[in-house]
């Protein structure tokens, strides 16, 4: 069962661009809701990729998933249906601008002053002058979502927040921002906030990272580097590797030779030849990932639909659950 991983308060999903981070974050959210949790998946930068995948086309809001996800009244924490779940799943899209407005309203006694300071012009000036501030603000909201007692007035706490984090390099700088601010500001509210967020991120009982890759050379290399950077320099616990989009490897070496020999003469054999070689290359990259990655690794199959929807995410959540269950059977603590 995936309880080890999903018992954290915050699970961060990252990896190279385009490898399936949002899809894996959505599948983890489905698993959490199925296991009875009240979970939220958070995306940053007004993206709605997770929401798009979790909602059927009829349920998707007109004009894009994130058009109304933050406004002057704060963030929209939208409930997302999960079939057969005893828990619940929510989605929120975080923009640093809205995070600043919320932060100021929380800190300053006069709402009009908070709104003035949080206005577009001031925000642009502040963030341009302060490297890392956008990241700190976004992570501050993620931290708030992961708290057992919410700071947002009237907001119900979640058991688990799953962060669909930016891609590799940007993820490292985002996740390092709190500790950088804590160090450079030293004293005052920003240093305190930085230190508080950094303490949550750095505590393996509360926070874990899932590194996603596809079984290709560059994504695997980036995932291995990411494990080193996050586990080392950034000091955040990496719990699991996910290799996404794995093709079935149906052919033996002799089959592959036969396909290669027939490919120039027959278009159908040529297609099978390409598939066989891709699947074989994937297996080599998967083996390389397993050798280099220090944490447990699970695989997810390539779905065949044109655009992934809730049924595909359900099926991927099943596979993730099976993979995690197998790891658990292999030895206690493998996904800790």
Q: Is 55 in the site for ligand ATP (CB under 6 A)?
A: no
Query: Residue 84 burial (CB < 10 Å; 0-12/13-18/19+)?
Result: exposed
Q: C-beta of 27: minimal distance to ligand ATP in Å?
A: 9
Q: Over the range 20-51, which residues count as b (16 or more CB within 10 Å of their CB) and which as e?
A: bbbbbbbbbbbbbbbbebebbbbbbebbbbbb
Contact between 45 and ligand ATP (CB under 6 A)? no
- 323 interacts with ligand ATP by CB under 6 A: no
Binds ligand ATP (CB under 6 A): choice among 7, 23, 176, 193: 23
**Total binding residues toward Mg ion, as defined by CB under 5 A:** 3
DSSP 49: H
Total length of the chain: 336
242 near ligand ATP, judged by CB under 6 A: no
Please say whether the beta carbons of 209 and 237 come within 8 A: yes
Residue 300 Cβ, how far from ligand ATP at the closest point, in Å?
A: 5
- Scan residues 243-272 and list those touching ligand ATP (CB under 6 A): 244-245
Using CB under 5 A, which of 7, 22, 53, 207 touches Mg ion?
22
From residue 143 to residue 182, the character string flagging contacts with ligand ATP as x (rule: CB under 6 A) and all else as - is ------------------------x---------------
Instruction: Kindly write out the interface string for residues 36-75 of this chain, putting x where it contacts Mg ion by CB under 5 A and - elsewhere.
Output: -------------x--------------------------
DSSP H helical segments within the chain, as ranges? 3-6, 21-34, 49-54, 96-107, 111-117, 120-129, 133-145, 168-185, 189-201, 217-229, 253-262, 267-292, 310-330
Strand duo 74-75 + 207-214: pairing: unpaired
Q: Say which residues have a Cβ less than 8 Å from residue 283's Cβ, sequence separation at least 6.
A: 215, 249
Q: Does 11 bind ligand ATP (CB under 6 A)?
A: no
| Interface contacts to ligand ATP, rule CB under 6 A | 17-23, 49, 167, 244-245, 300, 302-303, 308, 316
- Which positions touch Mg ion (CB under 5 A)? 21-22, 49
């Amino acid at each position: 069962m995936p309880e080890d991983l999903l018992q954290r308060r915050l699970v961060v999903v990252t990896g190279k661009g385009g490898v399936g981070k949002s899809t894996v974050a959505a599948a983890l959210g489905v698993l959490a809701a199925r296991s009875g949790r009240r979970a939220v998946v958070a995306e940053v930068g007004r993206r709605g990729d997770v929401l798009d995948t979790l909602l059927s086309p009829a349920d998707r809001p007109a004009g894009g998933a994130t058009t109304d996800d933050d406004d002057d009244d704060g963030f929209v924490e939208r409930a997302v249906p999960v079939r057969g779940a005893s828990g619940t799943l929510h989605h929120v899209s975080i923009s640093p601008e809205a995070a600043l407005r919320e932060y100021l309203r929380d800190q300053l006694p006069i709402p009009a002053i908070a709104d003035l300071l949080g206005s577009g012009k001031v925000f642009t000036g502040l963030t341009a002058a302060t490297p890392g501030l956008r990241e700190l603000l976004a992570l501050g909201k993620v931290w708030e979502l992961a708290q057992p007692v919410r700071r947002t007035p009237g907001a119900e706490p979640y058991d688990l927040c799953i962060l669909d984090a930016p891609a590799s390099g940007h993820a490292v700088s985002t996740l390092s921002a709190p500790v950088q601010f804590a160090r450079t500001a030293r004293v005052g509210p920003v240093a305190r906030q930085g230190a508080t967020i950094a303490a949550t991120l750095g505590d393996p009982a509360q926070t874990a990272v899932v590194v996603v890759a596809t079984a290709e050379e560059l994504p695997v290399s980036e995932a291995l580097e990411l494990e080193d950077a996050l586990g080392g320099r950034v000091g955040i616990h990496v719990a699991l590797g996910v290799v996404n989009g794995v093709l079935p490897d149906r052919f033996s070496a002799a089959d592959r030779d036969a396909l290669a020999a027939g490919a120039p003469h027959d278009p159908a054999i040529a297609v099978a030849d390409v598939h066989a070689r891709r699947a074989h290359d994937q297996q080599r990259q998967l083996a390389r990932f397993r050798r280099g990655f220090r944490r447990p690794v699970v695989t997810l199959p390539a779905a065949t639909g044109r655009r992934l929807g809730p049924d595909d995410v359900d099926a991927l959540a099943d596979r993730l659950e099976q993979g995690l269950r197998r790891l658990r059977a292999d030895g206690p603590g493998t996904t800790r």
